[in-house]
Amino acid sequence: MARRMLAVGTSDYLRRKHGDSYYVHLVHKDAPHTTDAKLVEIKDWISSNFPTASIEDRSFHGQIRFEVPNRPASNMDDSSGAVDDKKGARTTIAPTDGRNGTSISALFEKLEASKEELGMEFYAVSQATLDQVFLNIVGKHNVQEEDYQKARMATGVWGKTKAWLRKTAHDA
C-alpha cells in the first residue's frame, strides 16, 4: 500500500503476477578458484540456453546467479499443461517454447544435462521471495518512502540554505 492499494492476493498469486521467475544459483566445482574464462563459458551457456535470462553482473568466487522468467500463466488455457493445485497455484509443466519463458521441468533438464560439461558442483532453483515481489510492485508503481520529499529537501541545496538562514537569524 502507498496511500492506495497496489496489489491484493494470496502470496502465490502475487508471486505469479509480480515475481514469476525462477532464480538460479550455480556453484562451480573449482569455486572459489574458478577461472574467469570458465565463468564466461558458463554465462555464454546460460545466454544460449535461456535467452530471456537475466544474469547478475557480479559473480563471486565461482558462483553465478541468474533469473529466468517462467511461462506466463495468463497466456495458458486448460490444454496448455498447467496444473492447479489444491491452493489454487498454477504449476507449469509444459516444455519451453523459447518465447514465453521456461518451465521448471525444462530448466532442471537443461541444468542436469549440462552439469558435468560446465563443471557445476551445485545449483539451486527458487521462486521469488515475498521481499522480491514487494520490491517489484513498489518499483512498478514508482512508490517513494514516506517523507522522502521532506528528507530530500532537508539534505538538498534549499534545505541547507534554510538551515543556514535559521541559524543566522537565531544567532543575530
Question: For residue 140, what pLDDT is reported?
Answer: 78
pLDDT in tens, 25-34: 999 999 999 9
Tell me the three cell numbers of residue 151: 528528507
Domain that holds residue 133: 11-141
**Residues 95 and 114 reside in one and the same domain:** yes
**Residues 79 and 158 reside in one and the same domain:** no
**Residues 128 and 167 reside in one and the same domain:** no
Is pLDDT above 70 for 134?
yes
Strands (E), the chain: 21-28, 54-55, 63-69, 82-84, 90-92, 120-127
Question: For residue 84, what pLDDT is reported?
Answer: 45
77: domain CATH number is 3.30.70.250
Give dist(CA 22, CA 68) in Å, integer: 5
**Residues 112 and 152 reside in one and the same domain:** no
Higher pLDDT, 87 or 36: 36
Say if 107 falls within a structural domain.
yes
Overall domain count for the chain = 2
Closest C-alpha among 56, 59, 54 to residue 34: 59
Instruction: Please compute the mean of the pLDDT values over residues 122-133 and round it to a whole number.
Output: 88
Rounded to the nearest integer, the mean pLDDT of the chain is 76
Q: What angle do CA 24, 15, 80 make, to 5 degrees?
A: 85
Question: For residue 94, what pLDDT is reported?
Answer: 38
99 CB-near residues (< 8 Å, 6+ apart): none
**Residues 54 and 100 reside in one and the same domain:** yes
**Residues 135 and 153 reside in one and the same domain:** no
**Residues 38 and 117 reside in one and the same domain:** yes
90 CB-near residues (< 8 Å, 6+ apart): 16, 73, 76, 82, 83, 84
**Residues 169 and 133 reside in one and the same domain:** no
Say if 76 falls within a structural domain.
yes
Say if 2 falls within a structural domain.
no
Say if 64 falls within a structural domain.
yes
**Residues 102 and 36 reside in one and the same domain:** yes
Say if 49 falls within a structural domain.
yes
Question: For residue 39, what pLDDT is reported?
Answer: 93
Could you give the percent of the chain with pLDDT greater than 70? 67
Give dist(CA 168, CA 100) in Å, integer: 63
**Residues 60 and 37 reside in one and the same domain:** yes
pLDDT in tens, 50-109: 999 999 988 888 999 999 988 654 443 334 444 444 444 444 433 444 444 568 888 999
Q: What angle do CA 128, 131, 135 make, to 5 degrees?
A: 95
Question: For residue 121, what pLDDT is reported?
Answer: 94
pTM beyond 0.75, yes or no? no
